A and B are shown apart, each in its own frame.
Chain A
Amino acid sequence: MKRPQHLIHRARRRRWQAAAIVTVAALAAAACSSSSSSNSTSSSGSSSSALTASAPGITPTQILIGSHQPLTGPAAPGYDLIAPASAAYFSYVNAHGGVYGRKIVYKYLNDAYDPTTTASVVRQLVLQDNVYALFDGLGTPTHLAVVQFLNSEKVPDVFVASGCECWNSPTADPETFGWQIDYVREGKILGQYVKQHFAGKKVAYFYQDDEFGQDGVKGLNDEIPASMVVSKQSYVDTNVNIAPQVAALRASGAQVVISFSIPAFTALLKLNSLKLGFSPQLVVSNVGSDAITLSGLLEAYAKQGGATVNGNALTNGIITDGYLPTLGDTSNSWISLFSKVHQQYDASAPFDGNVLYGEGVAYAFVQAMFKAGRNPTRADLVSAIEGGLPQGAAVAPYAFSSSDHAGVTGAYIGVIKNGVLAQEGPVLTTDTSASGAITTYTGTEQQASASGIPSP
């Protein structure tokens, strides 16, 4: 280490420093001055009424929407396919006339499943890019960081990619809407199945220690008698060492483990169990059970640990639930539509449950935009959804009304067989209350239109 000894011309240096600070600050300010949105108001003539820049993010030619997505980080495996799939469906709509002639531009930014980053990127989308709406923001802990902000800015916050019950509070958060089946309903439906099919067995829970896992457990508790439950283990998504939890599950002698986990942790649960020679019946919530994602993760993680496993063999027999048609059901009109769009615009990704979800939720958004009218304000989108949406690709109706912002109300039980989800039994619908009955859905399911575009 150098130790020079000399006189120091401090005053001179200080002056330099002060000057440098001011100069650089000024430069930084100048460099940052980006253009704010320029909404051109030129009207393009059309049949009924001219298209106008009716709201922030809407011009006569485009609708700009934004999202925060985990493209890197713990939640990225699987979930990083969702936004590109939504974008693929929007491209399809844009190529077939758009929404009243406007093209949808979907800008999704990476938040790495980190709430602080979410807060930052969502402000960028709203304050700088002036998006019309936030669409399909992914994750419970992440989206919670921006709900208050979006509602105070009166930005429609539609179809949050999380089944947290917390999106359904129309009074406090009038702009926020869920879409997929919420975790409480899911927990009830899975819980009832376990109670009926594994009577007398020892049951244990494994769940993410946040609203996601806790909502799921709440639903499970509504159905499964406390006497059946021998252990409840939780994890946090920032700590991948779940060996202690799995050891506790094994020690409890559980024969059935119900897991409310993201895919990475479902895979870790399976592998850790395998290591301990513990093989309970796994029951996994929809968001953590996509067969293709799981199979890939299992093989990748096992490889990191120096082992080779067959992913499909390990996912075999996992019980889960679904609220969209099964991927294997090629005769289903939605599967053939979404598969066609996927082939055309997003072919590099595997056609898995995440892609199906991404396209399904994008379809619902286009439905809502058509319903919101030719020149919609932000409030028009909110009231369009509150007026109810046709069922679309989901297997059960939406709950949407002015007093209910929850999405899909039902699901079916499915089992993964040879890497493919197979439906077992009918579609079941229920509500989020502890006493609410679980009933078999008897309504007919909607068919995709030939064009693949929702009708206005």
Chain B
Amino acid sequence: MQSLPRRLGVAVVVAVIVVLASIKLNTFRDYQIAEIAIEVTAVAGLTLLTGLSGQISLGHGAFMAIGAYTTALLLMHLSWPFIAVLVLAAAVTAAAGAIVGAAAARLRGPYLAGATLMLGVALPSLAYAYQGIFGGDQGLNVAFTAPGFLGATFPLTRWQAWVSALVALITLMLLANLYYSRIGRNWRAVRDDDVAAALDGVNVAAARILAFVVSATCAGIAGALLAIVTGLVAPGAFTLTLSISLLTAAVIGGLGSLPGALWGSLVIVLVPTYVTDVATSHGLSSSVGSNIPVAAYGAVLILVMLVFPQGIQGGLRRILTLFTGPGPKTPTWRHPPTPSAEQARASQHEKEGTS
């Protein structure tokens, strides 16, 4: 069992790398570090939800919106310190996650996908309905400044990168603890076979709801970070595209894997910028050049799924086993989840039939 000190060690090393990178690289890279941190925070929660507890969500953008709007409103009207705002934003999103989770625990497969999809589409439009509170399409401006002790010339973007990366690392640490804890085992048990889990004394509904709460909280924290990094909270930022891109990152990285959440986030954030740079530097016409990043995104998606059906993390593990020999094999719970327990049982029967 992976120990807490070791995880802490990895986190510290990553933190040092982030700080060094942010000082050495230009401020736009700082912004990208912040973007990656935001993405990874949300994706980590989603990858646990889908990969571990076997529930799907197409509406996580809505939870990000809840976190972001809570942050914006608190900073605007009460000017709390950010740490307090972050905690409250997480709490509010957790409450929303509990409500949705209670409904979600009763739904499976396409029905759950449909319900969460509806949430993702409908919730941000509340901002249009209550323009007085949420500022309508124009959204709410978020004032966030670097603390005075860093000096007047310290770039705000770097401070934003540090805060985001720190919050993301802490979130990942806590999730890793959950992953290896009894709660994580319960989720996997529920995912693989809810009847068997119930027979073993696992409260299936409670486990599912808790997974939703944890995952929504992560999205809420990511939303809070998004609010302070972009300085604006507007419904246009929380479209269905966002929810889908979170799920995409989780799948590309490897469902159910926390390092996978990082790989997926790196792909989602860096590939479009990189491809745009390449496309513009080769002087392609704008009608071609502007569509290349979209095409590249699709190509990466297809490639990853073809070459690494278990995501980048799954692929890396496969490559590593080439070096370490056939000894350590992937344990069951590291596989991508089955969409539903019924299908898992069905595939199990198939296997038994053939072997």
**Residues of chain A whose beta carbon lies under 8 Å from any beta carbon of chain B:** 1-6, 8-14, 16-18, 20-22, 25-26, 28-29, 32-34, 36, 71-72, 80, 83-84, 107-110, 114-116, 119-121, 123-124, 126-128, 140-142, 144-145, 148-149, 152, 166, 209-211, 214, 236, 238, 348
Among the 9-residue stretches B108-116, B207-215, B236-244, B299-307, the one with 4 or more Cβ atoms under 8 Å from chain A is B236-244
Stretch at the interface among B25-33, B73-81, B92-100, B197-205: B25-33
Contacts of B289 in A (CB 8 A): 71
Knowing A33-B24, A107-B280, A127-B31 are in contact, say whether A72-B294 is a contact too (CB < 8 A).
Answer: yes
B248 CB-CB contact with A under 8 Å: no
Q: Which residues of B contact A (CB under 8 A)?
A: 1-2, 6, 9-10, 13-14, 17, 20-21, 24-32, 35, 125, 128, 136-139, 141, 156-157, 230-232, 234, 236-237, 239-242, 259, 262, 266, 270, 273, 276, 280, 285-287, 289-291, 293-294, 316-317, 320, 324, 327-332, 335, 338, 344, 347-348, 351
Q: List 10 A-B contacts (CB under 8 A).
A: A2-B351, A3-B332, A8-B331, A71-B290, A71-B291, A83-B286, A84-B286, A110-B293, A116-B242, A141-B137
* Contact partners of B138 in chain A: CB under 8 A: 141, 144, 166, 210-211
CA distance A36 to B28 in the complex (A): 10
Cβ of B1: which chain A residues have Cβ within 8 Å of it?
Answer: 10
Nearest chain A residue, comparing its CB with the CB of B291: A72
Contact B329 A4 (CB under 8 A): yes
A6→B329 contact, CB < 8 A: yes
CB A107 to nearest CB in B, in angstroms, measures 7
Minimum CB–CB distance from A288 to chain B (whole Å) comes to 17
Tell whether A80 pairs with B10 under 8 Å between CB atoms, given A123-B31, A124-B273: no
Q: Is the CB of A12 within 8 A of B31?
A: no
Bound together, the chains give a CA A354 to CA B150 distance in angstroms of: 47
Given the interface pairs A20-B316, A109-B276, the reply to whether A1 lies near B232 with Cβ below 8 Å is no
In the assembled complex, the Cα of A20 lies from the Cα of B328 at a distance in Å of: 16
Expressed in whole angstroms, the Cα–Cα distance for A144 and B135 within the complex equals 12
> Which residue of chain A has the shortest Cβ distance to B242 in the bound complex?
A116
CB B14 to nearest CB in A, in angstroms, measures 6
- Residues in A whose Cβ lies below 8 Å from that of B24: 29, 33
A22-B35 Cα distance, complex, nearest whole Å = 19
Distance in Å: Cβ of A357 to nearest Cβ of chain B = 16
Residues on the A chain within 8 Å of B25, using CB: 29, 32-34
Q: Give the shortest distance, in Å, between A2 (CB) and chain B (any CB).
A: 7
Partner of B28, one of A17, A25, A127, A210: A127
Residue among A18, A83, A119, A144 making CB contact with B6, cutoff 8 Å = A18
Known: A1-B344, A209-B128. A12 touches B14 (CB 8 A): no
With a cutoff of 8 Å between Cβ atoms, the chain A residues found around residue B30 in the complex are 127
B239 touches A238 (CB 8 A): yes
Q: Which residues of the partner chain A approach B237 to less than 8 Å between Cβ atoms?
A: 115-116, 145
A4 engages B331 (CB within 8 Å) = yes
Minimal Cβ-Cβ distance residue in B for A15: B6
CA–CA, A121 to B294, complex, Å?
A: 15
Shortest Cβ distance from residue B35 to the other chain A in the assembled complex, whole angstroms:
7
Residues of B within 8 A of A29 (CB): 17, 20-21, 24-25
What is the chain B residue whose CB lies nearest that of A18? B10
Contact yes or no, A120 B239, CB < 8 A:
no
| Contacting pair B316 A22 (CB below 8 A) | no
Question: Quick one: which of B28, B139, B232 contacts A124, CB cutoff 8 A?
Answer: B28
Given contacts A115-B234, A128-B26, contact A17 B157 (CB under 8 A): no
The 9 closest A-B pairs by CB, nearest first: A71-B290, A210-B137, A128-B28, A127-B28, A115-B236, A127-B27, A9-B328, A110-B290, A29-B21
How many Å lie between the Cα of A13 and that of B320 in the bound state?
9
- Could you tell me if B157 and A28 are in contact, using CB atoms closer than 8 angstroms? no
Q: Tell whether A26 pairs with B17 under 8 Å between CB atoms, given A10-B1, A80-B286.
A: yes
- Pairwise interchain contact B26-A9, C-beta atoms closer than 8 A: no
**Quick one: which of A11, A17, A28, A108 contacts B286, CB cutoff 8 A?**
A108
- CB-based contact A3/B236 at 8 Å: no
Q: B21 near A32 (CB under 8 angstroms)?
A: yes
CB distance from A256 to the nearest CB of B (A): 26
A332–B96 CA distance with the chains assembled, in angstroms: 61
Least Cβ distance of B298 to chain A in Å? 13
A32 adjacent to B29 (CB under 8 Å): yes
A residues less than 8 Å from B280 (CB atoms):
107, 109
Instruction: Give the CA-CA distance A71 to B330 in the complex, in Å.
Output: 44
